[in-house]
Amino acid sequence: MDNPSKIVEGGVTYSLGRFDGCCVHYDFSKILVYLEAKGKLLFGSHFELFKKDRKILLQLCSYMIRDATTCAKYDIDINKGILLSGPVGCGKTSLMKLLRHLDPQRRFYEMIPCRNVSFGFNHIGYKTIEDYGNSGYYCFDDLGVELPGRFYGKDCNVMGEVLLSRYERHNLSKGTFKTHATTNLNAEELESRYGIRVRSRMKEMFNLIAFQKHTGDKRK
């Protein structure tokens, strides 16, 4: 029987905790060792996890492994998606790309830049909203900085419409249809960009996990 507490990367076996034959008892310190190694494979040898981000990492990892006790401590609902916010360059996109590898037995969410969704609308119209709004397991990257959509002379707040469609599916699915996103915007800026109705739905769809606003740009 496969041991789900172990992951092999580059010929090296990493332990994430202890498997008792029924479930995995995760060890956060071992998870961090694996994530840093996987990050170097994905993004290059310069990749590192920072001590100042440990609280964010603990929350995200606890959500990904469905650690109900730790999630409850941080008021994280495992039936909602993740909205990861923070300043430009703080590592949001890299973390969401990385964390989907934490449990290879579950289906990966696909990372979709929001600008691509808007560009798609400009080319093929409302089918883009249907495609991204009604199906798929996605993390929408850089929510709020995409350009407005326009198709045959009609303007559309494309991601706002996608989120409304996914909210309806989220409600019908009772938490099995999840959406994740990253954003540089705060709550007020999201409301200004998408309107109060979408902002209200986002509160029901997402757990907000936020970097400190003064977090530095790690790409420098």
CA neighbor of 205 nearest in space, from 138, 120, 150, 149? 138
Q: Mind listing the pLDDT tens digit for each residue in 102-145?
A: 987 777 899 999 999 999 999 999 999 999 999 999 999 999 99
Answering whether pTM is above 0.75, one says yes
Domain containing 197 equals: 76-210
CATH at 88: 3.40.50.300
Q: How far is CA 154 from CA 72, 129, 158, in A?
A: 44, 14, 11
118 in any annotated domain: yes
Q: Is residue 163 part of a domain?
A: yes
Domain presence at residue 137: yes
Q: Which H/E stretch holds residue 194? A: helix 187-194
Residue 75: what residue type?
D
Residues of the chain with confidence (pLDDT) below 50: 1
Dihedral sign for Cα atoms in the order 158, 159, 161, 166: positive
Any domain includes 100: yes
Number of domains composing the chain? 1
Q: Tell whether 19 is covered by a domain.
A: no
